[in-house]
């Protein structure tokens, strides 16, 4: 096991970066410094689903109970519906053991819960990364505020526009999905008293609308996906008028219950949906990637944050097995080998889920679309929710070590 004096820098203080800091400290026992470019930790005021596969990691790290208390566990399975509200299929929102069920989290609450498990003296705000380079003693990181510091290793959790990714020679082009989403939250008290405390998705006319409860059921998150070329002509995101969103789902072809929900929306923002093709490598020497920096994916399977959390446990497991600082590059190489295939599958799966929701391509045949959604429910439970990132990493570690002794 590497020395407790081993120093690793995590670039990015979002949900992936904070989870990586917790895992590297609690599992691998190393010193971690988190650098965040913003002046305070925070996230846009919208929701995220903490899925069973990520909850398993957070449980192992000792932080799940606080997250569960701050979030909202639904009353049962979610539902996929057509535009008029007719049931297509229910949605798997739990693992096979029923130990973990999806938690709807307000993003600021999730950031606060994760940050509370990190030594506040190890988080440095207002540090926008400008460069990363390997040096004889490890890795030197430089910031726009003039700070320069050296570490034994660096983990890039700095998102789709990752600077760390450039240091390992990966320059993926963003791929625009031709869709934007309107996002935000609704005060649950503005909804009918009998509004279902579950996830609901309406699908029709090449667009979809999703909502689910957050923050002990005090809020509802919403995500509305619509076709648009807006990001190709300007910014990738910005404030939006609620009337814009309402117009996308107006008319008798949409469920009156959905109209009622939209009437409760007071504010919204829009985001262009971008991802990138799977990378050919995540690591170079003592530098590696995690989360969106490694595998930006569309949100349609709700796995972006959850895969960053899986990454964190896998990374910490391999770092823990390193005997000296000199072994960290090999630990990173092994981590990359284990994680790349799973996240690539989910990147493509997220694109496919979006195509199903919006009846695109082969899913324009609604009978096929609906059948695939029903089959996908059970696949999602077994292949995604039942995944144990720690056990997978430990088994892979044993295989690597057996191969070395041959």
Mean pLDDT of 192-213: 96
Mean pLDDT score of the chain, rounded to an integer? 95
Residue-wise pLDDT for 318-337, tens only, equals 999 999 999 999 999 999 99
pLDDT at 253: 96
Q: Is 242 exposed, middle or buried (0-12, 13-18, 19+ CB in 10 A)?
A: middle
Classify residue 205: in a domain, yes or no: no
Residue-wise pLDDT for 47-77, tens only, equals 999 999 999 999 999 999 999 999 999 998 9
Residue among 31, 57, 83, 52 nearest 310 (CA):
57
Q: Tokens standing for 277? A: 């093709």
Q: How far apart are CA 249 and CA 255, in angstroms?
A: 9
Is residue 212 flagged as an active site residue?
yes
Helices (H) and strands (E) in the chain, counts: 12, 18
pLDDT at 328: 97
Which pTM does this prediction carry?
A: 0.96
pLDDT at 204: 94
Classify residue 29: in a domain, yes or no: yes
Classify residue 257: in a domain, yes or no: no
Classify residue 256: in a domain, yes or no: no
pLDDT at 237: 95
Of the two residues 3 and 113, the one the predictor is more confident about is 113
The Cβ of residue 248 has, within 10 Å, a number of other Cβ atoms equal to 18
What is the DSSP annotation of 304-366?
HHHHHHHHHHHHHHHHHH-SSGGGHHHHHHHHHHHHHHHHHHHHHHHHHHHHHHTT-GGGGSH
Q: How far apart are CA 123 and CA 115, in angstroms?
A: 9
Chain centroid offset of residue 331 CA: 23
pLDDT at 405: 66
What is the bridge-based pairing of β-strands 123-124 and 31-35?
parallel
Task: Indicate the pLDDT class of residue 377, thresholds 50, 70 and 90.
Answer: confident
Classify residue 254: in a domain, yes or no: no
Residue 347 half-sphere exposure toward CB, CA atoms < 13 A: 21
CATH of the domain at 56: 3.50.50.60
- Domain boundaries, position 294: 7-173+276-405
pLDDT at 43: 75
Task: Indicate the pLDDT class of residue 362, thresholds 50, 70 and 90.
Answer: confident
Highest mean pLDDT among 281-285, 379-383, 400-404: 281-285
pLDDT at 401: 82
Residue 192 half-sphere exposure toward CB, CA atoms < 13 A: 10
Classify residue 212: in a domain, yes or no: no
Tell me what percent of the chain is helix, strand and coil, each rounded to the nearest 5.
40, 25, 35
Cβ neighbors of 227 (< 8 A, separation 6 or more) are 178, 179, 206, 207, 358
Classify residue 238: in a domain, yes or no: no
| Residue 152: pLDDT over 70 | yes
Residue-wise pLDDT for 203-255, tens only, equals 998 999 999 999 999 999 999 999 999 999 989 999 999 999 999 999 999 99
| Residue 194: pLDDT over 80 | yes
Q: How far apart are CA 110 and CA 66, in angstroms?
A: 9
The Cβ of residue 62 has, within 10 Å, a number of other Cβ atoms equal to 11
Active-site entry in 212, 335, 361, 387: 212
Classify residue 154: in a domain, yes or no: yes
Give how many domains the chain has, as a whole number: 1
> What are 140's strand-pairing partners?
133, 150
Cβ pair 170, 279 in contact under 8 A: yes
Q: How far apart are CA 64 and CA 263, in angstroms?
A: 34
Chain centroid offset of residue 203 CA: 23
Q: How far apart are CA 150 and CA 154, in angstroms?
A: 9
Q: How far apart are CA 262 and CA 110, in angstroms?
A: 25
């Amino acid at each position: 096991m590497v020395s407790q004096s081993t120093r690793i820098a995590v670039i990015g203080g979002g949900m992936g970066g904070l989870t990586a800091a917790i895992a590297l400290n609690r599992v691998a026992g190393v010193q971690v410094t988190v650098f965040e470019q913003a002046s305070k930790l925070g996230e846009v005021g919208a929701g995220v689903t903490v899925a069973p596969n990520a909850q398993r990691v957070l449980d192992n790290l000792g932080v799940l109970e606080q997250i569960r208390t701050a979030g909202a566990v639904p009353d049962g399975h979610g539902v996929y519906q057509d535009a008029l509200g007719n049931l297509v299929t229910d949605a798997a929102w739990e693992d096979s053991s029923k130990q973990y069920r999806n938690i709807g989290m307000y993003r600021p609450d999730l950031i606060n819960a994760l940050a509370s498990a990190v030594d506040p003296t190890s988080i440095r705000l207002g540090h926008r990364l400008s460069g990363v380079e390997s040096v004889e003693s490890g890795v030197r990181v430089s910031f726009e505020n003039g700070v320069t510091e050296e570490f034994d290793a660096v983990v890039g959790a700095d998102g789709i526009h990752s600077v760390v990714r450039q240091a390992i020679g990966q320059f993926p082009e963003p791929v625009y999905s031709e869709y934007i989403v309107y996002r935000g939250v609704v005060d649950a008290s503005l909804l009918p008293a009998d509004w279902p405390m579950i996830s609901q998705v309406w699908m029709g006319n090449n667009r979809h609308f999703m909502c689910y409860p957050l923050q002990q059921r005090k809020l509802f998150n919403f995500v509305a996906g619509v076709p648009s070329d807006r990001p190709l002509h300007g910014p990738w995101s910005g404030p939006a008028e609620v009337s814009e969103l309402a117009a996308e789902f107006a008319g008798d072809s949409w469920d009156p219950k959905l109209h009622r929900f939209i009437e409760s929306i007071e504010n919204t923002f829009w985001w262009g949906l971008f991802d990138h093709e799977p990378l050919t490598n995540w690591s170079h020497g003592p530098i590696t990637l995690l989360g969106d920096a490694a595998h930006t994916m569309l949100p349609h399977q709700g796995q972006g944050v959850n895969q960053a959390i899986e990454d964190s446990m896998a990374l910490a497991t391999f770092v823990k097995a390193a005997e000296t600082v000199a072994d960290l590059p090999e630990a990173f190489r092994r981590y990359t080998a284990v994680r790349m295939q799973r996240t690539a599958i989910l990147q493509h799966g997220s694109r496919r889920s979006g195509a199903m929701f919006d009846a695109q391509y082969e899913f324009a045949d609604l009978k096929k679309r609906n059948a695939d959604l029903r089959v996908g429910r059970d696949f999602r439970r077994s292949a995604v929710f039942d995944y144990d990132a720690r056990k997978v990493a430990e088994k892979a570690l044993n295989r690597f070590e057996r191969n070395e002794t041959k």
